[in-house]
Amino acid sequence: MRPLYASALLLSLVSCLAAAKNLEIYFIDVEGGQSTLFVSPSGESLLMDTGYGGFNHRDPDRIAAAAKSAGVKKIDYLLISHYHADHVGGIYDVATRFPIRNFVDHGPNTETDKDSQVRYNTYTSFSDKGNRMVAKPGDTIPIKGLDVRVLASAGQVLTAPLAGAGQPNPECSSFRFDPEEETPENQQSAGILITFGSFRILDLADLTTSREHDLVCPVNKIGGVDVFVSSHHMGAAANTPQLVHAIHPQVAISNNGPRKGGKPLAWQTLHDSPGLEDIWQLHYAIAAGKDHNSADTYLANIDEQCEGKWLRLTAEKDGSFTIFNSRNRHEKKYPARP
């Protein structure tokens, strides 16, 4: 009986270890575009955007390398936030390399130039053959072990606060609209909030000032978050104090490139946000200079011509998380907030 008991105990331990698996997030360097891979405790994957096409398959190669590191061989959900080249351009290579079970997007393309239409048609040539979900604010993407909530899509945002949110935002009176922000597709972006236990990460893709305002004014519909993926590649027409101070992040992640995003105004707003501990960047932003870039420790790539190193975040259910820099192997653990 002892061998059977030992086997049963071993199986129980293995089961417990599997149940304790954490959420892993890979922030992939696509040179100022976006591609973020979420791997749930259940092993399901969500890829948010596919970076650029072209460049000798650079971005799909980097996505494939991150997926290999994560042990991901298929994409359970591909979320295309919007149809700009830096977010959907790599769709052909990604869709021909990985089986994709479900496609999620904001609906029809809103830009009519030829290149936009080609990108959209390429995307729909795959999504129309699969299971396509047109996301609406308030929808959830059904990934076991996570709450993946759509906060914005197709130019609309949540109409009612999430549970525990709804506090008045005293900074709304000083909000200033940026008239240069209104690129149609940016404002259509599908933005999400992912919750794993007590851990919360917010990614609003390329939404800019007016939609940020609608999410947190006159009341904060989101609540607080642990990690904020800075909007529009840490762009100046986004990351307003009204949003950043309301969500009160512990850490910000910037998917900027060497010469795209990483704007000094946005960096400073994040840096000065009460309670923010660090800004991690996929690139050193050349035009911003040393005063508006994080220390080398927190930069995945420091040279303009780089190897495309990624950042990996591992979140635990208690709200604590660790960020690992694949360039210098620096790792920092953040305790759960009280």
Residue 180, pLDDT score: 62
Between the CA of residue 161 and those of 143, 155, 195, 216, what are the distances in Å? 22, 17, 15, 9
10 within some domain: no
Residue 17, pLDDT score: 42
Between the CA of residue 29 and those of 35, 94, 140, 302, what are the distances in Å? 7, 15, 27, 12
- Work out whether strand 45-48 and strand 75-79 pair parallel, antiparallel, or are unpaired: parallel
Cα(184)–Cα(181) distance, integer angstroms: 9
Residue 6, pLDDT score: 43
Instruction: State which residues of the chain have pLDDT below 50.
Output: 1-19
Residue 35, pLDDT score: 98
Looking up tokens 């830096």 gives 86
18 within some domain: no
Residue 176, pLDDT score: 83
> What domain range includes position 290?
23-334
Residue 184, pLDDT score: 86
Residue 177, pLDDT score: 78
Cα(337)–Cα(248) distance, integer angstroms: 11
Strand, coil or helix: 280: strand
319 within some domain: yes
Q: How far apart are the first and last CA of the chain?
A: 47
Between the CA of residue 74 and those of 67, 83, 304, what are the distances in Å? 9, 22, 31
Residue 8, pLDDT score: 42
Residue 14, pLDDT score: 42
Partners of 133 in the beta sheet? Answer: 104
Please report, for the domain that includes residue 182, its CATH number. Answer: 3.60.15.10
Q: Which residues lie below 8 Å from residue 262, measured CB to CB, with a gap of 6+?
A: 233, 234, 254, 256, 281, 283, 285, 287, 288, 292, 293
Residue 182, pLDDT score: 62
Q: What is the pTM of this model?
A: 0.93
Question: Minimal CA–CA distance to 211: which of 234, 183, 174?
Answer: 183
Residue 12, pLDDT score: 41
CB 209 within 8 A of CB 182: no
Q: Which residues lie below 8 Å from residue 107, measured CB to CB, with a gap of 6+?
A: 134, 153, 154, 188
Structural domains counted in the chain: 1
Looking up tokens 């609608």 gives 214
103 within some domain: yes
Give the model confidence (pLDDT) of 228-276 as tens digits: 999 999 999 999 999 999 999 999 999 999 999 999 999 999 999 999 9
Q: What are phi and psi of 52, to 5 degrees?
A: -85, 160
